[in-house]
Structure formats: structure tokens, C-alpha cells
Amino acid sequence: MSTNPWGVTFDDWGQHMASYPIYAQAFHALDPAYPDQHPRPVGLHAYSGTCGQEFVDFPNWPEEMQGGFVKVRYKPTNRVEFHRWSESDFGFTEEYVGNIVFSKNLSFIPVDLRFGPDGAMYVCDWYNPVKGHAQYSLRDERRDRVSGRIFRIMPKWAKPQQMPQIQGAPLGQLLDILKRPEYRYRYWAKRELRDRDPAKTKAAIDAWVARLDPTDPRHRHHQIEAIWLYRGIGAVNTKLLVELLECDNHHARAAAAHQFRYWHLHFKNEEQILGRLAGDPSTLVRMETAIATSYIGTPWALEALVKILNQPNIGHLSYAINAALGSHTIKPLWSGNADATAKHPGIGKFIAAFTLRQKMSPKKRYSARDAEFDNRKGLKVVKIAAVKERMLFDVTRFEVKAGQPVRIDFTNPDATAHNIVIVAPGAEAEIGKAANEMAKDPKEAQRGQYVPKSKKVLHATRMVAPLSAESLRFIAPKEPGEYPYLCTFPGHWIIMKGTMVVK
């Protein structure tokens, strides 16, 4: 995970959001032994160019925006964006919806934002004609060192909210703020409560938890708020944690499993609890459990981790498992241990599959421009792979709409290099033969790309090496028709081809 504090915030259930990666909850396993590092987030969206994010939870904002989040982006475009935050099978993803503020003036550099106590959103604009600390000298005369701007954003019809009293408020009043929907009010209230006398605060939390209404739709969330506050004052409530670990709300179970990594020593049956969590039907719970094993670091924690890796896992869950396996607490229990690897053959298979996915992911860094393209409305994602030892594409026909943004994720598990070249209708033979001719040129053969210079070549990947991958981003042609795509490695185009249908 990046050392830069780009856009760090948390959703309603404490799930960590950043920008490198976007969904950062899977990156909390303990580190490997120095100097090793956790692997890079291959296949997981991550980019720079954003410094601040904030979820929309103030009631004076539109209903359709509730639960989404606002992001400030300073490159490659300068704007304040609104996104939706959606749970997927193996984590969370963002979906770009539109802009709240956009400027062509590159001196507009939004670098942070936060809800204020009145329910308005405040955006910090660095406003500087020189952006960056690597391209330009810090002593550059063009830098504006004295001015900046704060934008206050409020829906047109909305009225400012009245902030509840926090400083000096009674304990019971502060605890009731934890029932409110606004994260910032809850955050400020917990800050105040952590400064109070811990013994009195714990007694007040105990009484507050006992009075919570089980029929309240937010009952489990209120309980999780109590768990977070207990930890904030150095207290423990194992009975409440067990109730949450066994409840029917998977978000609450995941948040409780996250807490279990810190409180496990307070349980006599910690091994049984961890084993049960490892088999939870929710991938979020299993992900938190995988990370927890690195904090526990016992042979039975490894057993729980193996139980998780033997279940379906991709994406963020797969990353969390791999990071836990590589942690300085868990790795010594299996690496170089013949008995452990013989007992758990699934470890070797998982590591091999994860390593292969790492190799087959794009070597090119996921850029801010890539992120901007991938967040466009209506993006069509097509996954195509070379068929191993067959000189064929596994997808030979797909459809897109005219003018639609398209991303082709091409993977090459073969022993030979391949590419994807999209050409004008009827031009496949002409381009294929031209690629064959390029092989006769020693310079072209040394370059090894074999993409002819022709206006009939519309879009092309580089020649993708064995066990590698590349993403091709483009806007579909405006003219409907059948557009061939082929591999232009000399001789391959005759059979290794397909058709993109534009409607």
C-alpha cells in the first residue's frame, strides 16, 4: 500500500477506503519479515491523483446520494466527483456517476474535503499554477505560497443543520450521538469520549448498550459503534463481541471479526471462534478472519487460514490470504516446514495460482488516466485470453454500442507472445499479410511488435509476453459494423481472430 495519505476514509461499517488501492481493507495483515514486502495490488484498482474522499450521510443531502461518496481529483482532470460505493462478491468497488465541480483551469487543485458541522461539504483548493514536487523546484517563482480557496458546497434546497453539543456534553448525550447517521458527528463525539475518564465512560457505555432497542434497524450498527469506543478507551466487552460475531448481519460480523484480532486473548475458546469465522458464508468476514490470523500467529490460526484458502477466493480476499500467509507471524509456521506443507497441500497450490496471476497482470502501472477511463459511464469490459497451445482467442465475438467506452483485458497464458489488433471492416487479410512482411525486416523482427502502420489499424495492444497481460482502452467506432480483431504475430492472424460487433 502506498505511503502517501491519498484519500483515506472509512465507510459506515468501518471499511477502509483510500486511492492506492481504492478498497484498502484487505491490506491490513501484519508485514512480512524485513526486508520482504507484501506483493503489489495486481488486478485491484489503485491510482494516485486523489487526496480526499467523504461519504454522503448528512440528511440534508439528496436521498439518491446517500451512501455514495465525493472524491476530489487533481490529475489528470481537476474536479470534484460523485461515486457510488457498491459491494461485490469479494470486496467493494466504486462507480463514477458525475461531477459536482469541474474546471479547465489547471490551477484549480482540489486536495481535500470534509463535511462541516452545518452539513455543507468544504473543499480545499490548493489553487496553484505549479502542481507537483518532482517536476518543478520547490523554489519555483511561479508557486503561489500565500493564497488558496475553500469551496462550500450545499444542495440548493438544503438548509444548514444544527450541530449537536459535543464539547462538555454529558456522557449519555454524547453516546446518543453515536446513533446518528452522520459519520462526522459520531467521529467528533468519540474523540470527546476518549478524553473523558475511562472508568466512568466504560460504565456509561455498558448502560447505553443495555438500553439499545433490538428492533431499531440500526441496532447492530449502534453495537459496533460501542465496540469501537470500547477499544478507543482501552476497555473490552467480550459478551457483546460474541453476540455480533453470531448475528445475521454480515457487515456487523465482519466489523466484529476485525475487532477479534485485538481481543482474542480475552477468550478461552478463541481457537473455536476463529475456526467458525473461517467458514463464514460472507467473503467479507472470511477476509477479516484471514487478516486476523496474522495477528494471532499460532498453528491453529494457520489451520483457520488454510480453511479460508480452500474456499473460493479472488480479488481482495485472495490478496488478504496471501498477505497473511506471508506475514512474519504465519510464514514461519509453513515455509520450509515439510510436515506443514504435506499436511496442507492447498498452501502450495494457492501460492502458485496467486503468483501466476501476479505474472499475468499488466506490468504497466495503473495510471490516473486509466482510472478516469474506467470510471466512465457505460464502460464495457471484455475479457479475452489466448487459448494455451492452440493459437486461438477464447472469445471470438462480442458486441458493443457505437461510441461506447470499451476496455479489453487480454491475458496470455501461452508460451508464445500474442497481441490483439482491431482493424477496419474487411481489412484483416491486408493487415495480417503486412505483419507477415514485417518479419522479413531485421529491425522490425528485433522490435517484435508486428503492428503495421496503417489507418486501417484502429486499436492495438503491445505484443504481450507469455504469462503476461495488458488492458486495451478505446472508444468504440461510431459506425455500426463488424470489426475484426486478430493477433498479428507473423502467421497467427489466419486462425487467431475474432469479431467486434458495433451496434
Provide the sign of the torsion angle of the four alpha carbons 247, 253, 255, 259, taken in this order. Answer: positive
Domain count for the chain, please give it.
Answer: 3
92 and 148 both lie in a single domain: yes
Domain CATH for 423:
2.60.40.420
Residue 280 lies in a domain: yes
pLDDT of residue 242: 98
**128 and 267 share one domain:** no
Within this chain, do residues 22 and 116 fall inside the same structural domain, yes or no? yes
Instruction: Single out the residue in 296, 324, 359 at which a domain terminates.
Output: 359
Domain encompassing residue 289:
171-359
User: Is residue 13 domain-shared with residue 147, that is, in the same domain?
Assistant: yes
Phi-psi region of 234 (alpha: psi -120 to 50; beta: other; left: phi over 0): left
pTM: 0.75
Q: Are residues 135 and 21 in the same domain?
A: yes
**Residue 204: inside a domain, yes or no?**
yes
Distance of CA 140 to the CA centre of its chain: 36
CATH of residue 308's domain is: 1.25.10.10
**In a shared domain, residues 179 and 323:** yes
* 161 is a domain residue: no
Q: Are residues 28 and 117 in the same domain?
A: yes
> Are both 413 and 351 inside the same structural domain?
no
Residue 164 domain flag? no
Strand, helix or coil for residue 2: coil
| 371 assigned to some structural domain | no
Domain boundary among 330, 359, 388: 359
pLDDT digits 0-9 by tens, 407-429: 998 988 887 889 999 999 999 99
Considering the domain boundaries, does residue 491 fall inside one? yes
DSSP SS3 for 394:
coil
Boundary-marking domain end, from 359, 387, 417: 359
Cβ contact 30:74 at 8 Å: no
Q: Is residue 92 part of a domain?
A: yes
Block mean pLDDT (10 aa), the chain, length 503: 66 88 86 86 72 93 95 84 86 87 88 94 90 72 86 94 96 98 97 97 98 98 98 98 98 98 97 97 96 97 96 88 96 91 89 73 62 84 89 94 94 87 96 90 83 95 85 95 95 94 96
- The contacts of residue 475 (CB under 8 Å, 6+ apart) are 403, 404, 405, 406
Give a three-class secondary structure readout of 318-371. HHHHHHHHCCCCCHHHHCCCHHHHHHCHHHHHHHHHHHHHHHCCCCCCCCHHHH
Query: Are 260 and 398 within one domain?
Result: no
Does 214 share its domain with 345? Answer: yes
Residue 1 lies in a domain: no
Cell of 471: 488492458
Same domain, 179 and 263: yes
Q: Which of 60, 165, 187, 174 is nearest to 119 (CA)?
A: 60
Query: Is residue 355 domain-shared with residue 385, that is, in the same domain?
Result: no
pLDDT score of 146: 85
